Amino acid sequence: MKSLNTSSMPRALMLLLLWAIPLSFSFQPMSRISTNQAPPLQQANTLGMLQLSVSSDVSNDLIVDATSIVVSHSEGLLAATPAIGSSLIMLTIVGLLYIWEESVEWVRETVPKTLLPVVESILAEIGGLGFIGLIFGTVLGNSNVKEGLEGLSITLFGESEILVENFEFLHSAFFQVGVGFFMAVGAMAAVGVKKLDEIKQVEGLEQDPETEACNITPEKLVRYMPLLPKKDDNNDIEAIYGANNLWQEIFMDKEERAGRTLLLRHQIMRIFPRLPNTFRVEQVIQASFAENLYKLVELSPLTWIYIIPGLALANAIDLSHEVVNSASPNAAESVGFFFSTPTAIIPSAVTVAASMIWGFWNCWKLTQIKYMVHPKLGIDKSTGAATILPPLVESESKMREFDSSPAWVRPIENIWAKPAKNAFDEVFGAAGGAGLKLYQNSIKYQTWLCLTHIVFFGTQVVPRDFDALLSGATVGDPDHLTAELVTYGSFVLISVLQLLLVAPRAFWNYCLVAVLEEKTARKLLTLSGNDDPMQKEQAIPVALNGTAAVEITP
């Protein structure tokens, strides 16, 4: 891990200070460098003493004149050292840039190499948002443009400054949502790296230190997985099926999760039998995780459409009460109306509920699919020995019973559906051959919607309600203040829990499913350094590569 290099920082600060000190004298206004005038600081102090002596017997005037002393003193100090103030500001900017560059370098050297494209993509998107801010600043700084916008603002809102202030507010909101999304993706990446380390640790326990061979046998996997057998088609085999319950999946123990994931190693080596016994499955999972995370952070312009309804509602309520946004001095005048206005509370509640259902659906769907395509651990009743069973997708009877597209969601999936080419496509239900791409986008947009709720409700509604409640300020609709705070606070909490618990699990399961698709598997083996020219001649099992399926046999 690379630590921040601060050895050059003191030298840079000294150079800037040496540059700033002479400037503080050379750039003073000529009107103040007069031999007939006392120094500005002395003038300010003299003025303050005179004011204080004249009105010392009147308490109210004393307060006013004491304030004048402070103001006069500050003006004199700033007038005497304008370059020092500017230099301190520039030093602060340089310091922040230095910290940013060092932090970026540290991240680049810390993350796995496969995740570097994700880091670069995030940096590019943040740079794009900064560039938009630069364009806004340049255009709005033009006097002709500003005059035109002021005229348009008077026509639309009756005041000259509202339109420009709204431009600044909306750009700030876009930037906040964008940065929030990338922070969520970064957190998702951190969780993924942690899970890969857990798999690596369990896999390392079964590795021969001399040959580096991983002898992960069914008997060893039983130690990490609870014995919860169910009857299988074959009476002599009991299968310890993977958890297909959504809550069990979300809160599964890390060792059990690592053990179940190691079953994936067996399936990959079954698909590619010439892989050496030194093959480490976490390398392929990491390649899948990195590639799909990279696609997750690719934001099309259409992605930003999610922000428009929420911000439009917020602006409509604020502007109807002569408030620009939550940072306005009179922001409390809109408090309570976000709850009492049906056109605000109903769409907000509907989108939060839809986002929650959407997130749980993504997680449930991919949990069920993972349950079908991953192998199972079984116990031979006659011998008591552990054995690994083929995935259920290779069983005709199980495939006939399985349906990952209930009636209520089938019309939605049919919009993007493509014909299924093999059994792997069939497990996606109505989505068929479009399943992988569809649910990759589904996870991305649901995550984006959650962040939109957090930024909108968490910056425009909840903080001003909380501040009004604590300060006892006069608000626009006091009867609904508490209800508004509780309701929108709950919306933020629900969205945060979605991002912390549900979305990462859906994305992780997606990566574990995607790694078994034929073309993806070959590509990931290459990306992870496990490619072998001999593997190009190997056939994918019939269940994943053709239309026929086989029954499970011990």
Which portions of the chain are predicted below pLDDT 70?
A: 1-81, 140, 157, 171, 202-213, 225-246, 301-303, 306-307, 310, 518, 527-554
Q: Which residue has the tokens 């020092």?
A: 84
Q: How far is CA 335 from CA 59, 225, 319, 376, 472, in A?
A: 38, 53, 12, 56, 12
Other Cβ atoms closer than 10 A to 461: 26
- Crossing angle (nearest 10°) for helices 162-205 and 503-514: 50
Q: Is the dihedral of CA 353, 359, 365, 368 positive or negative?
A: negative
Other Cβ atoms closer than 10 A to 99: 13
The predicted pLDDT at position 207 comes to: 63
456's torsion region: left (phi>0), alpha (psi -120 to 50) or beta? alpha
Q: How far apart are CA 270 and CA 274, in angstroms?
A: 9
Report the amino acid identity of residue 376.
K
- Beta bridge partners of residue 376, listed in sequence order: 389
Length of the chain: 554
pTM summary value: 0.70
The predicted pLDDT at position 479 comes to: 92
275's torsion region: left (phi>0), alpha (psi -120 to 50) or beta? beta
The predicted pLDDT at position 9 comes to: 42
The predicted pLDDT at position 6 comes to: 41
The predicted pLDDT at position 538 comes to: 40
Report how far Cα 428 is from the mean position of its chain's Cα atoms.
26
Beta strand 376-380 pairing with 230-231: unpaired
User: In this structure, what token pair is assigned to residue 387?
Assistant: 């054995």
Coil, helix or strand for 248?
helix
Give residue limits of the domains in the chain.
9-179, 180-545
